[in-house]
Amino acid sequence: MKVLRVKNLNFGYNGSKILHDISLEVEQGELVAILGPNGAGKSTLMKCIAGIFRCKEVEIFGEPSDRYSREELAKIIGYVPQSITPGFMRVFDMVLLGRRPYIGLTPSRKDIEIVKETLKKLKIDPLALKPLNKLSGGELQKVNIARALAQEPEILLMDEPTNNLDLKSQIEVMRIAKEFAESGKTSIVIMHDVNLALRFADRFVFMKNGKIIKDGGKEVLTPKLFEEVYEVQGLITEIKGIPIVIPASES
């Protein structure tokens, strides 16, 4: 089942056109990695999908996203931005904000239990009462992800979620994205670490200069593609069936 369709999306702001004729379809159960150099338009595309920028060219479950209310979208899409500004709020309360679309006058027992389970899943439950401004960059990123997961969305959007994380935590986050997709939902992740993406993702959307250069599975991975997108020559090999890109030198 198609959960997302982007059709001929052109978008820009502040007088600059950023996205050029973007078309993309994503199926239920997929983990899609969006890859490309800085300035490719990846984050802008994700904000259009998330409904931060309202676009009629973006359809969620067959309906233009601009027809959904903010609350309705929050029940469907969990969005993890690149960073959040830490304040004095405690970790538990920050993750509880993910339940806001469901909360009445006060949080229910279910809301509290979901927050507890999410903190435990990301292994940050010991930080529950710690203020955000006392966290490391990696801890803060995990809290950001936990808030989105607590929304219980159908689509999880993460913009460079492995930034500021050590190698173990990077793998943990990508496993969460993979398990989320395998549970019958959908994950879309912007990444710079190509090899980490190749290890976990089902599909790869390569962008450059606001355009999609290539979209597909492992069959699209070629040295020519990486040279076109990243302007770097390289070798593509496999280790235990997992494709690995080894950059050689700049072209």
- How high is the pLDDT of residue 13? 85
Kindly report the three-state secondary structure assignment for every residue of the chain. CEEEEEEEEEEEECCEEEEEEEEEEEECCCEEEEECCCCCCHHHHHHHHHCCCCCCCEEECCEEHHHCCHHHHHHHEEEECCCCCCCCCEHHHHHHHHHCCCCCCCCCHHHHHHHHHHHHHCCCHHHCCCEHHHCCHHHHHHHHHHHHHHCCCCEEEEECCCCCCCHHHHHHHHHHHHHHHHCCCEEEEECCCHHHHHHHCCEEEEEECCEEEEEECHHHCCHHHHHHHHCEEEEEEEECCEEEEEEEEEC
CATH number at residue 51: 3.40.50.300
**Comparing 95-99, 203-207, 213-217, 245-249, which segment has the lowest mean pLDDT?**
245-249
**Residues 212 and 248 occupy one common structural domain:** no
Instruction: From 188, 72, 96, select the one nearest 147 (Cα to Cα).
Output: 96
The candidate with the shortest Cα–Cα distance to 246, out of 198, 195, 175, is 195
Give whole-number Cα distances, 167 to 171, 174, 217, in Å: 6, 11, 24
pLDDT in tens, 17-45: 999 999 999 999 999 999 999 999 999 99
My answer on whether 147 and 243 are in the same domain is: no
pLDDT averaged over the chain?
A: 92
Question: Which pTM does this prediction carry?
Answer: 0.92
Q: Do 67 and 115 belong to one domain?
A: yes
pLDDT greater than 90 at residue 208: yes
Same domain, 149 and 244: no
Mean predicted confidence (pLDDT) in 40-66: 94
- Specify the pLDDT at position 238: 87
128 and 99 in a common domain: yes
Q: According to the model, what pLDDT value does residue 250 have?
A: 53
Q: Are residues 175 and 243 in the same domain?
A: no
Range(s) of the domain holding residue 231? 221-251
Residue 209 and residue 191 share a domain: yes
In this structure, are 207 and 126 located in the same domain? yes
- In this structure, are 45 and 106 located in the same domain? yes
pLDDT tens digits, 174-191: 999 999 999 999 999 999
For residues 42 and 65, state if they share a domain: yes
Let me know whether 104 and 192 are in one domain.
yes
206 or 234, which is more confident: 206
Q: Model confidence at 251, in pLDDT bands (50, 70, 90)?
A: very low
How does pLDDT run across 74-110, given as a tens digit for each residue? 999 999 998 778 888 999 999 999 999 998 788 999 9
Domains in the chain: how many in total? 2
Instruction: Identify the pLDDT of residue 9.
Output: 97
Over 90: is that where the pLDDT of 248 sits? no
What residues are paired with 206 via a beta bridge?
35, 214
Query: What percentage of the chain has pLDDT greater than the value 70?
Result: 99
- CA dihedral over 193, 196, 200, 206, signed as positive or negative: positive
Q: In whole angstroms, give the CA distance from residue 57 to residue 180.
A: 26
> What is the torsional sign of CA 210, 40, 169, 241?
positive
Please check whether residues 149 and 161 belong to one and the same domain: yes
Q: What pLDDT is stored for residue 105 in this prediction?
A: 80
Average pLDDT for 150-154: 96
Q: Tell me: the pLDDT tens digits for 100-115?
A: 999 878 899 999 999 9
